[in-house]
Amino acid sequence: MLLFDLKIIKTFPYKDRAKNVFFKSDDFKVRVINLAKNEEIPYCEMKDSVIFYVIDGEGEIKVNSKKDKIFTGNCVITEPARISLKTKNGMKMLGIQIKGGN
């Protein structure tokens, strides 16, 4: 068993996003995504299913052509898709990428 405190886990800017992965196995990887005020992650093509859990804050997620507001406590589950995220006031999320999951 591994235990992680998501409230204090260190995060890095989007350009260093690979450093935000704090667990990786053959089947999935887990990272914390911390977007600063007015920050955006441009569309990226995800070949795996993804689970996002909003730890704190609010923002907007686009999955393919669908757009939704997301808030603290929301959980978003996607199949492989084009995904982008943005926030006006900042947002911290847990992202779980599941290989072959759908």
Residue 17: predicted pLDDT: 84
In angstroms, rounded to a whole number, what is the distance separating the alpha carbons of residues 91 and 60? 10
Contact, 83 vs 63, CB < 8 A?
A: yes
Whole-number pLDDT of residue 63: 97
Name the nearest CA neighbour of 22 among 100, 84, 97. 97
Mean pLDDT over 71-97 rounds to: 96
Fold of 15-98: Jelly Rolls (2.60.120)
- Top-confidence residue, 14 or 6: 6
Question: What pTM did the predictor assign?
Answer: 0.90
Residue 30: the pLDDT is 97
Domain boundaries, the chain: 15-98
Tell me the mean pLDDT in the region 2-30.
90
Q: Which position has the higher pLDDT, 64 or 16?
A: 64
